[in-house]
Amino acid sequence: MTTRTVIGRGARLGVLIGAWPAGIAGTLCLVVSFVFLTGGQEGTARALLSAAAFAVLASMAVGVTVGTATGLALALAPRRLLACPLLRGLLAGVTAALPVALLSVATLTGDGYTLASYPPSIHLLNLSATLTIALVAAAHSGDIAGCGADH
């Protein structure tokens, strides 16, 4: 299997990883924007529409980047490692989760804030999102690398 094929499969997984949060955030912002629009608050509705557009674009960009990085890591991994499902899944999970975790920490610690400035629910949300992305990447690692049951 060529490196380009494996990276392409990783990018397709990244589209899936980015589409779920993009769809949820975009839909929520659009619904709330419509509520504000019908209430006569056009400025707030416009701000929410721009927030929805930014959330969708950012989520898709992060998803495709994470998927491409996962595909690249699996394409460059030795075949011995790819033959073991546990090691292959661990490589894919860490490759997908590490940039998301670092981005989360970087986002939360800007403008003089520290991680202690946020309630535990924010940390739980970030941890669960990162873990979900890692598990999805690990579960699909065989398909990306071409080592799955149908390959």
The HSE-up count of residue 55 (CA atoms within 13 Å, CB side) is: 17
Compute the average pLDDT of residues 2-19: 92
pLDDT at 147 over 90: no
pLDDT of 149: 57
Contacts of 33 (CB under 8 A, 6+ apart): 44, 45, 46, 48, 49, 52
| % of the chain surpassing 70 pLDDT | 97
Q: How confident is the model at residue 73 (pLDDT cuts 50, 70, 90)?
A: very high
pLDDT at 150 over 70: no
The per-residue DSSP string of 3-32 comes to HHHHHHHHHHHHHHHHHHHHHHHHHHHHHH
Q: How confident is the model at residue 148 (pLDDT cuts 50, 70, 90)?
A: low
Compute the average pLDDT of residues 34-56: 88
Compute the average pLDDT of residues 66-75: 94
Check: pTM over 0.95? Answer yes or no: no
